[in-house]
Amino acid sequence: MKLDKELVVIDLEVDSKEEALEVLGKQLLEIGVVKEGFVESILKREEAFPTGLPTAPFGVAIPHTDGDMVNESKIAFALLKEPVKFYMMGKNDELVAVKMIFMLALKTPEDQLEMLQKLVGMFQNPETVTKLAETKDVDALNKLISDTA
C-alpha cells in the first residue's frame, strides 16, 4: 500500500484549485491509469460535489470522480507550497485553505479502501496532518503512511 513516485508532487506551486487538479489529473493520465476526459470530469465533479475537508492545522482535499473514468485504482498526492481554496465537502458556501491534495482514482468502492481509511484516520489527527505537510519526498510520505496505525 504505497503511493507511486511519479504520482507524488512536493511543493507544487499553483494559483488555484483548478490548476492543482489539472497537474495531478494529467499525471494520472500520463501513466495511463485514467481515461481521456478524467481531468475534465474531476473539475466538473469538484464544482458539483466539493471535496475540501476542514482538517487541522491544514485543510485537505480528496478530489475524485466516477469509476468509469478510471482504468486502474491509484492515488496521486500533491503538497502545495501555498494553500489554495477549495469548497468544503457537503457545503457550497464555505471555503477551506487546502495544503494537501489526495486525488483518488478509484474504479470500484472496494479499491484502495484500506488506504483511504488510513488516510481519513490521519486527517483526524492534527499531529499527522502536520507531519504530512512537512513531507519532503515520496519515501518519507510512504513511511509516514505505513507507520501510522
Partner 1 sequence: MKKLLIMCGTGIATSTVVKGKVEEWLKENNLSQEVKIYQSKVSDEIGRIDDYDVILSTTLVPNNIKDKVIDGVPLLTGIGIESMYEKVLAEIKR
Q: How far is the CB of 13 from partner 1 (least distance, A)?
A: 26
78 or 106: CB nearest partner 1:
106
User: Binding to partner 1 by residue 83, rule CB under 8 A?
Assistant: no
- For β-strands 52-53 and 59-61, DSSP reports them as antiparallel
What letter represents residue 128's amino acid? Answer: T
86 or 123: CB nearest partner 1:
123
Q: Cα(74)–Cα(107) distance, rounded to whole angstroms?
A: 9
> Residues with Cβ < 8 Å from 21, sequence gap 6 or more?
39, 42, 43, 46, 63, 101, 103
Whether residue 106 contacts residue 67, with contact meaning beta carbons closer than 8 Å, is answered with: yes
Q: Cα(113)–Cα(125) distance, rounded to whole angstroms?
A: 19
User: Binding to partner 1 by residue 64, rule CB under 8 A?
Assistant: yes
Choice from 43, 97, 116, 133 touching partner 1 (CB under 8 A) = 116
Choice from 23, 39, 50, 77 touching partner 1 (CB under 8 A) = 50
Choice from 24, 123, 138, 142 touching partner 1 (CB under 8 A) = 123
Report the Cα 68 to chain-centroid distance in Å. 19
User: Binding to partner 1 by residue 106, rule CB under 8 A?
Assistant: yes
Q: Cα(98)–Cα(40) distance, rounded to whole angstroms?
A: 20
Number of residues that bind partner 1 (CB under 8 A): 30
User: Binding to partner 1 by residue 95, rule CB under 8 A?
Assistant: no
What letter represents residue 41's amino acid? Answer: S
User: Binding to partner 1 by residue 31, rule CB under 8 A?
Assistant: no
Choice from 49, 71, 97, 131 touching partner 1 (CB under 8 A) = 49
Choice from 8, 20, 28, 88 touching partner 1 (CB under 8 A) = 88
